[in-house]
């Protein structure tokens, strides 16, 4: 009887172990599913917040903060940073560095010594230091043009011969920010080794988030540039209205003559100027001035010409015009002619730099 019960007891024992193992696997998968579900929720929250931010037209720094802090939460990073490319000097300038972000660049020895006494020295150095586009892990990521998972920053070849060595135990996910085939900058998030390494899934999620961030930053720049252009156009239209007021509002009435003047600028602002000047009793001068070129510079010289001409007596017109000579650049020309309706007197005219108006008809 005992021998018949032993196989049954063995089967029960095997079933118990199998059931316990199945439960452990179930708990593992459930925990993994919960982690993925939480990560998915954080990702959707990040994309939602990013969309709201774009609608509110944030500054580059504010948008960078939203992106970095959002991705930090998605991949459970210690901190992160965004550096933007300055096309004028070939450097990456920090736009935003989160408070607990480990250093992403090499730190000079003297800065580390200062940081031992005052931690603010390190923080100040990181926030003010620019990075060459071909230097360090940030420059490396920009040069390869794709996201990079660096498991140990201090052993990366980018710091092998660097003057400023890297000593921290940090792993980093770095991605280039590109929009419309143009390099915008670099996005990075980091963990200290004590926090655990990034997984392959973390890297995949980070890659997707970086692509969305590039799109958001590029669109924000286009939108901001369009708004700046509209604002500039409005300012130019206001300047055009001021320029219109500076010109005569009505033509003089002289028996036997029909006088009509108008100004039609090639652009919003022009350098053409005309005015009617009362020289003496029963005498009228017509001032005609032309500044070479178009746009705002020509319009400013036109306003200066009118102001100076209106501020002096008629007989001093020559001196006023000659006074412009010292203030005109080599690329600017001012022609001013003031004919009189008194044919016994010579027509007054002067051109500085070059002739810019056609000869007067008499």
Q: Answer whether residue 312 is part of any domain.
A: yes
297 and 219 fall within a common domain: no
107 and 55 fall within a common domain: yes
Q: Answer whether residue 359 is part of any domain.
A: no
The answer to whether the beta carbons of residues 153 and 172 sit under 8 Å apart is yes
Q: How far apart are CA 141 and CA 174, in angstroms?
A: 7
Domain count, the chain: 2
Q: Answer whether residue 231 is part of any domain.
A: no
The token pair that represents 349 in the structure block: 């005219």
Across the range 127-151, mean pLDDT stands at 92
pLDDT bucket at 28, cuts 50 / 70 / 90: low
Q: Tell me the pLDDT tens digit for each residue of 326-362.
A: 444 444 445 555 555 554 444 444 443 333 445 544 4
277 and 197 fall within a common domain: no
User: What is the reported pLDDT for 152?
Assistant: 92
Q: Which of 162-171, 201-210, 239-248 has the highest mean pLDDT?
A: 201-210
For residue 68, is pLDDT > 50?
Answer: yes
User: What is the reported pLDDT for 164?
Assistant: 63
| Least confident window among 14-23, 189-198, 210-219, 329-338 | 329-338
196 and 50 fall within a common domain: yes
The token pair that represents 231 in the structure block: 């604002």
157 and 82 fall within a common domain: yes
Instruction: Point out the domain boundary residue: 193, 226, 259.
Output: 226
User: What is the reported pLDDT for 350?
Assistant: 40
For residue 156, is pLDDT > 90?
Answer: no
Q: How far apart are CA 138 and CA 125, in angstroms?
A: 17
Q: Which is more confidently placed, 121 or 3? A: 121
Q: Tell me the pLDDT tens digit for each residue of 103-123.
A: 998 888 888 888 888 988 888
User: What is the reported pLDDT for 16?
Assistant: 67
Neighbours of 206 (CB within 10 A): 24
The token pair that represents 113 in the structure block: 């010594």
187 and 293 fall within a common domain: no
pLDDT bucket at 236, cuts 50 / 70 / 90: confident
Q: Which is more confidently placed, 174 or 344? A: 174
CATH, residue 314: 3.60.40.10
**Is 258 exposed, middle or buried, given 0-12, 13-18 or 19+ CB atoms closer than 10 A?**
exposed
| Domain of 217, in residue numbers | 2-226
For residue 61, is pLDDT > 80?
Answer: yes
Q: How far apart are CA 69 and CA 64, in angstroms?
A: 8
CATH, residue 56: 3.30.450.40
For residue 47, is pLDDT > 60?
Answer: yes
**Is 302 exposed, middle or buried, given 0-12, 13-18 or 19+ CB atoms closer than 10 A?**
buried
Q: Tell me the pLDDT tens digit for each residue of 273-327.
A: 888 877 766 777 777 777 777 778 778 878 877 777 777 655 554 444 444 444 4
132 and 256 fall within a common domain: no
Neighbours of 349 (CB within 10 A): 16
Q: Answer whether residue 329 is part of any domain.
A: yes
45 and 100 fall within a common domain: yes
User: What is the reported pLDDT for 64?
Assistant: 94
Q: Answer whether residue 143 is part of any domain.
A: yes
266 and 191 fall within a common domain: no
For residue 29, is pLDDT > 80?
Answer: no
Q: What is the DSSP letter of 244?
A: H
142 and 255 fall within a common domain: no
User: What is the reported pLDDT for 36?
Assistant: 54
Q: Answer whether residue 240 is part of any domain.
A: no
Q: Answer whether residue 243 is part of any domain.
A: no
Look at residues 123, 121, 135 and name the one whose alpha carbon lies nearest to residue 164. 135
């Amino acid at each position: 009887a005992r021998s018949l019960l032993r196989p049954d007891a063995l089967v029960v024992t095997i079933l118990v172990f199998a059931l316990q193992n199945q439960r452990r696997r179930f708990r593992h998968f459930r925990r993994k599913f919960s982690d993925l579900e939480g990560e998915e929720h954080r990702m959707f929250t990040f994309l939602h917040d990013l969309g709201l931010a774009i609608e509110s037209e944030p500054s580059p720094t504010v948008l960078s903060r939203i992106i970095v802090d959002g991705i930090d939460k998605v991949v459970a990073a210690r901190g992160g940073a965004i550096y933007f490319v300055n096309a004028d000097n070939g450097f990456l300038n920090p736009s935003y560095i989160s408070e607990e972000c480990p250093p992403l660049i090499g730190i000079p020895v003297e800065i580390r010594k200062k940081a031992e006494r005052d931690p603010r020295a390190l923080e100040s150095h990181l926030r003010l230091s620019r990075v060459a586009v071909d230097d360090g892990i940030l420059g490396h990521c920009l040069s390869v043009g794709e996201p990079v998972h660096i498991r140990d920053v201090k052993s990366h070849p980018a710091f092998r011969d660097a003057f400023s060595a890297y000593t921290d135990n940090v792993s980093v996910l770095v991605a280039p920010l590109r929009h419309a085939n143009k390099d915008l900058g670099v996005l990075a998030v980091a963990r200290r080794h004590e926090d655990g390494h990034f997984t392959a899934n973390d890297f995949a999620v980070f890659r997707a988030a970086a692509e969305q961030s590039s799109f958001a930053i590029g669109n924000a720049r286009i939108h901001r540039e369009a708004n700046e252009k509209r604002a500039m156009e409005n300012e130019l239209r206001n300047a055009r209205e001021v320029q219109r007021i500076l010109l005569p509002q009505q033509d003089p009435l002289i028996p036997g003559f029909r006088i009509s003047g108008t100004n039609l600028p090639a652009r919003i602002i022009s350098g053409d100027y005309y005015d009617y000047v009362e020289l003496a009793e029963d005498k009228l001068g017509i001032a005609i001035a032309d500044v070479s070129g178009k746009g705002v510079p020509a319009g400013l010289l036109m306003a200066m010409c009118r102001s100076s001409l209106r501020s002096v007596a008629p007989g001093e017109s020559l001196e006023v015009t000659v006074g412009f000579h010292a203030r005109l650049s080599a690329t600017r020309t001012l022609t001013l002619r003031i004919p009189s309706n008194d044919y016994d007197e010579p027509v007054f005219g002067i051109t500085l730099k070059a002739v810019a108006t056609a000869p007067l008809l008499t």
